[in-house]
Amino acid sequence: MKWRIGYWHKYTLLFYSDELDETKLELVGNANIESPDSTMRCEAIIYISDRDLIREAAGPCQGMLSSQPN
């Protein structure tokens, strides 16, 4: 699945590999992430790109991403 990530310039964007050697994208501030059929906006989102997985989303949040079959 492809995601579109929206982000505003006055907040923090971190891109790194963790202790399991997984690539993480961490958006801190008003983060916006979209799938083809849904949108989620949260104060912070941690996305693991190697697994195409949102690991954590800290609130307050608006919207919801829906699951899709593989």
**Cα angle 5, 50, 61; round to 5:** 40
Mean of the per-residue pLDDT values of the chain = 77
Domain-by-domain residue ranges, the chain?
4-63
DSSP β-bridge partners for residue 47: 25, 54
Q: pTM, whole model, 2 decimals?
A: 0.68
| Cα 50 from Cα 23, distance rounded (Å) | 6
pLDDT tens-digit profile of 4-33?
555 555 677 888 888 889 998 888 888 888
DSSP state of 19: T
Alpha carbon distances (Å) from 34 to 17, 18, 19, 20, 70 = 22, 24, 27, 26, 17
Q: Are 59 and 67 in contact (CB under 8 A)?
A: no
